[in-house]
Each structure stands twice: as C-alpha cells, then as structure tokens.
C-alpha cells in the first residue's frame, strides 16, 4: 500500500540535510518543521488499528519532536539547544511508554553499554561544555532508557539480537533497536559538534550527518506498524 506521507518525509529530510550542509537556513526553516507532521499524518492514516492510548502517545511524541526540530534549526544557540533537549525528552518518554507496553524491559546486558556511553558523554560535557552539561545529561537518561527498551528481544522475538541490538527483518518491530541506535548516534554527534567542531565547513557537514541519522531514526521509530 502506498504511503505518500512517508515518501514526502524522505523528500523533506533530504532538503533539510541539504540546507544544513550548504548553509541555507531558509531551506531548513521551510523543510525541517514538516518532518514530524508528515510522519504524524502517516500515523493518522495508517495507525487506525492502534490502541487509542498508543496512538495518542505516538502522535504526542511526534508533536514534541516537532517543537524540538524547530528549536534546533539553530544548534549553536545554547538556550535553544537546552529547550530542544527538553522537547525531545518528552518524545523519548513517550516512546519508552509505548515500548514498555509492548513488553520492553531494561535487560542488564542491553542497559550496561548504554549506561557506560551516558557516563562518558556526561563526563565529557562536564569538562568541555559545563553550561549545557546538566540539562543534556538529564536528557540522556530518557534517551538511554528508550534505546534500551527498543532493543529488548521481547519486542521482536523472531529477530536475532547481536551486541544488544535487534537485527532488522520483515517485522517493523525488529527495526526499533536500529532506529534508537541511530537516534543515539545523532545526539552523540550533537555533543561532539558542540565541543570539537570549530570550522564552518566541519560544522555544516557534521550537522548534515546529525540530521540524516536523526531522520532515518524517526522514519523507523514512528512507523505505526511497529507499535501494533
């Protein structure tokens, strides 16, 4: 079955990444705010079989992500960065709620490496970016919990689980772990860009990678078929 809203999302994501890499902020302002509403429209059309509470939480999570997307069009403004992280914390909490409803649990073997990554990022921010360290570290808790639940083998029993990540197959639920991993990579690059990227070219390229991995993550995570 054709899914035009997801196809339109891919187009908007491509324009957003292109705008970031080339420094065309107006293009980002035109395309990036469309990303999550397009996925929400797909949920509205193709998610009618979802439990009403699940559908409401999924749409609410995408609404929170829309606010974060707009705030982070200017990622070099620390106030907007912190406010955007708060919006995405709401989204991550919504995703965690959905996956816990599907049987996702924080298994120790999956949780441990994510805690280690969180501690490493928190320490790096405390040393190199103390002005944003506390709120971003708090956001990291919600990100880590969502990523842990998304990779629980219980969510996709027919999928192989390697190194704490479900390997995607025909079941959309098996792709949640990869989506969460891409989201973690995107957010990790935000921290690295904030601390280490100095030149204009390197900042633009990094921002393009951040947006590309973010868009791919949301494409997988917001698929209503994965939340049946």
Structure-block tokens of residue 150: 């998304």
168 DSSP 8-state letter = P
Q: What is the mean pLDDT of each run of 10 residues along the chain (228 residues)?
A: 92 97 94 98 92 95 97 90 96 97 90 93 93 95 95 88 86 93 95 89 95 98 92
Bridge partners of 162, per DSSP, are 165
Up-side HSE of residue 83: CA atoms within 13 Å toward CB? 14
74 DSSP 8-state letter = S
Domain with 142, as residue range(s), is: 4-227
Distance, in Å, from the CA atom of 179 to the CA atom of 56, rounded to the nearest integer, reads: 21
pLDDT at 209: 97
User: Going by DSSP bridges, is the β-strand pair 161-162/165-166 parallel, antiparallel, or unpaired?
Assistant: antiparallel
163 DSSP 8-state letter = T
Number of domains in the chain: 1
**Cβ contact 197:203 at 8 Å:** yes
- The alpha helices in 161-228, defined as continuous H runs, are 176-196, 200-221
pLDDT at 1: 65
pLDDT at 74: 86
pLDDT at 47: 86
Nearest residue to 152 (alpha-carbon basis) of 139, 164, 169: 164
167 DSSP 8-state letter = P
């Amino acid at each position: 079955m054709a899914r035009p809203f997801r196809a339109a999302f891919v187009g908007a994501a491509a324009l957003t990444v292109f705008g970031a890499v080339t420094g065309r902020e107006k293009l980002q302002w035109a395309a990036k705010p469309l990303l999550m509403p397009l996925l929400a429209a797909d949920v509205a059309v193709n998610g009618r079989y979802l439990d009403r509470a699940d559908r409401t939480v999924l749409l609410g999570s995408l609404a929170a992500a829309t606010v974060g997307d707009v705030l982070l069009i200017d990622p070099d403004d620390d106030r907007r960065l912190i406010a955007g992280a708060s919006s995405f914390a709401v989204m991550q909490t919504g995703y965690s709620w959905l996956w816990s409803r599907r049987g996702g649990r924080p298994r120790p073997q999956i949780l441990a490496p994510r805690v280690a990554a969180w501690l490493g990022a928190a320490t790096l921010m405390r040393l190199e970016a103390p002005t944003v360290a506390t709120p971003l570290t708090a956001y990291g808790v919600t990100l880590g919990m969502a990523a842990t639940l998304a990779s629980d083998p219980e969510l996709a029993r027919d999928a192989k689980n390697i190194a704490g990540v479900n390997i995607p197959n025909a079941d959309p639920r098996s792709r949640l772990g990869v989506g969460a991993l891409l989201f973690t990579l995107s957010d990790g690059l935000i921290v690295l860009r904030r601390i280490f990227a100095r030149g204009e070219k390197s900042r633009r390229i990094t921002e393009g990678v951040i947006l590309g991995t973010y868009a791919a993550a949301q494409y997988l995570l917001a698929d209503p078929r994965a939340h049946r």
